[in-house]
Amino acid sequence: MTNIKFDTSALKQFVDENELKEIKPMLNTARDELLNGTGVESEMRQWMTLPIDYDKEEFSRIKQAANKIQSDSKILVVIGIGGSYLGAKMALDFLHDNFYESADSNKYPKVVFAGNSISGSYVNDLIKLIGDKDFSVNVISKSGTTTEPSIAFRIFRQLLINKYGKDEANQRIYVTTDAKNGALRQEVNENNYESFVIPNGIGGRYSVLSAVGLLPIAASGADIDQLMKGAADAQKHYMDTSLEDNGALQYAAYRNILYRKGYTNEILENYEPNLRFLAEWWKQLAGETEGKSNKGIYPSSANFSTDLHSLGQYIQQGMRNLMETVVRIEEPQSDIKIPVTGNNNDGIQYLEGKSMNYVNDKAFQSVIIAHTNGGVPNMVVNLKDQSEYSLGELIYFFEFAIAVSGYLNGINPFNQPGVEDYKSNMFALLGKPGYEDLKNKIEKDM
């Protein structure tokens, strides 16, 4: 079934065979907490069964909305931050070629993102990109009051109204929000926007397989039926198999064995440039899930071979608190051979006639050898290809493994209390009503 093969052969010098057996009882307890809902905040586990138990009527409406966007828009502006944009951005980059967004001849709309920063320059640049092109907006926020997307939605909604008038603008706004409550739900009711639901039992970082990710992914021309099928098959596999046959459980186990030995920083790596946002999505998933109570593996990323020329030195000979997890694509989207020129001025005549993917794979093998010899444990997630089916499985692999890993480390995997701290300070400094006392305290301490 699985398009994923989890390889731990490079861990032999770092993890003894008995250590996996010793952590297994704790791992099984963590898995059972997740599966049976006996762990903390169990109401936030709806993502676990989402690939099979999803709203079929809404799924159909998502595809209809995507078809409408494709027919009347050259650009779709997706407004959201954190899990409300990272999953979709990751999937679009993963599934399409590296320059799909810059191809004006593409029959599908460009999907671009806003509301993930507070940069006026970025917004102005995006407005210039839109120019006089037809566009639509998909705003994603459970509360409807998150600062960054709220600012962006005000700006792009006004652009729509200025261009099309209020009635047609309302037909070009798609809202993904809470089913009943919140500022955006109120606006949906007042303006009759097309709307989709963020389920109550799914946090932002686990939401890519809900309407949060599915509408932008479908609008880009990707096959969301295959995406959900890959995730559904993964759900059956990872929920029903034991440690010996379950790569996701093995990943959770090994990274925690290494963490307890002092390997506190994990680098997610790839060898394909359009997998960069896979790591960005994974960093939120891992960081928000595990980084609490002064505990947790610190998630970082690297894109090889590019970052071998910047981070490679540190990984090879820096502090020995690093572990690496490589996402390796077995069958890349395309390939090209190195030309035969008849001279060796550039010193690569020995590579003539070989494919770039062949060279890339040898670089991967070389790095594994060098880094393990240098004292850095390596794990490899081998993924068959960059299809929708494979991505669906990969999403579920990481979501399941990281949730188990949180429980295994005695952490609530589904809250993020620390995220609110900076927001309160920002609201106070911006003069938001209700934060006067905090503002006075901050100004006194400054």
Instruction: Measure the CA–CA gap between 102 and 44, rounded to whole angstroms.
Output: 38
Residue in the block written with tokens 């620390």: 418
> Which residues participate in catalysis according to the annotation?
288, 423
Q: Other C-beta atoms within 10 Å of 412: how many?
A: 17
Cβ-proximal residues to 287 (8 Å cutoff; 6+ apart), any chain: 296, 298, 299
> Could you write out the DSSP letters of every residue in 193-214?
-EEEE--TT--GGG-TTSHHHH
d(CA 406, CA 199): 22
Q: Are 88 and 208 in contact (CB under 8 A)?
A: yes
CA angle (143 as vertex; 140, 146 as ends), nearest 5: 75
Q: What are phi and psi of 352, to 5 degrees?
A: -60, 135
CA nearest neighbour of 197 among 214, 172, 217, 218: 214
Cα(292)–Cα(329) distance, integer angstroms = 32
Q: Report which of 301, 292, 295 is spatially closest to residue 398, judged by C-alpha positions.
A: 301
Task: Give 313's Cβ-side CA count (13 Å radius).
Answer: 2
Q: Where are the alpha helices (DSSP H) in 165-308?
A: 166-171, 183-191, 211-219, 224-240, 247-260, 276-290
AA identity, residue 75? I
Q: Residue 102 contacts by C-beta under 8 Å, 6 or more apart in sequence?
A: none
CA distance 275 to 86: 12
Q: Which H or E run includes 76?
A: strand 75-79
Tell me the sheet residues that pair with 76: 111, 136
DSSP element (H, E) containing 300: strand 298-303
- Core vs surface per residue 20-52: b (16+ CB within 10 A) or e: beebeeebbebbebbeeeebeeeebbbbbebbe
